[in-house]
């Protein structure tokens, strides 16, 4: 599905297809080659309507057949080389797919973890806001010093800053998931 649209997966897939074609070409070097150029032909001075009735027209059927020549093991060596390259590109394709799955799994884990952190930080921000509000009321009532108000405001700002950073991290993790899935997708309705 979506992972097949990743550029690295597409490139690895084309590399496997290309290597597969090279293996087929190397196998073809062991087989006879038939050239069908001028396979059916005619020779003579009669028009085509009278073909077959007169002996002055001669038919030729044929082509050229070339048998593979022993080249000191070159064909076998070439086959082994392209077969090894095919195995290598196949393994690279598998590694690319595993890497794609790992990227998606990591992005999903980060999203879930950051959602839990955000929920906890939102509770902390609410508690720090309430503490700052109460310390201000206590100061205005003469029950505490202004230092307590400043300290509670500092804690509130720190928790709000941490929450803002977590929100930013959540957006980054969503972008990482988007990238891990191949950069997006289209349904049939949006293609039209």
Residue 19 near residue 86, CB atoms below 8 Å: yes
Flag whether pLDDT at 190 surpasses 70.
Answer: no
Residues paired with residue 35 on neighbouring β-strands, in sequence order:
64
CA 47/CA 56 separation, integer angstroms: 11
Flag whether pLDDT at 156 surpasses 50.
Answer: yes
- 79-80-83 Cα angle (round to 5): 85
Region 136-158 average pLDDT = 94
The SS3 of residue 66 is strand
Flag whether pLDDT at 113 surpasses 90.
Answer: yes
Q: What is the DSSP letter of 76?
A: H
Residue, of 73 and 107, whose pLDDT is higher: 107
pLDDT, one tens digit per residue, over 168-179 is 999 999 998 988
pLDDT, one tens digit per residue, over 4-17 is 778 888 888 888 88
Flag whether pLDDT at 137 surpasses 90.
Answer: yes
Angle between helices 146-180 and 74-140 (to 10 degrees): 160
Calculate the CA 168 to chain-centre distance: 26
Residue with tokens 């293996």, as numbered in its chain? 23
**Stated pTM of the model:** 0.59
Residue of 187, 186, 181, 192 lying closest to 5 (CA atoms) = 181
């Amino acid at each position: 599905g979506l992972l097949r649209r990743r550029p690295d997966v597409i490139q690895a897939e084309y590399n496997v297809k290309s290597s597969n074609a090279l293996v087929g070409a190397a196998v073809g070097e062991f087989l006879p080659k038939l050239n069908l150029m001028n396979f059916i032909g005619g020779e003579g001075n009669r028009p085509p309507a009278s073909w077959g009735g007169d002996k002055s027209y001669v038919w030729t059927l044929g082509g050229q057949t070339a048998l593979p020549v022993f080249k000191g093991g070159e064909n076998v060596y070439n086959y082994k080389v392209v077969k090894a390259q095919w195995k290598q590109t196949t393994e690279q394709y598998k590694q690319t797919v595993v890497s794609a799955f790992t990227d998606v799994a990591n992005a999903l884990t980060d999203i879930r973890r950051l959602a839990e952190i955000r929920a906890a930080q939102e509770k902390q921000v609410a508690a720090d806001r309430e503490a700052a509000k109460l310390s201000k009321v206590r100061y205005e009532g003469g029950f505490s010093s202004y230092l307590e108000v400043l300290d509670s405001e500092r804690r509130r700002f720190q928790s709000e800053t941490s929450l803002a950073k977590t929100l930013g991290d959540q957006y980054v993790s969503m972008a990482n998931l988007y990238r891990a899935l191949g950069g997006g997708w289209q349904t049939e309705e949006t293609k039209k």
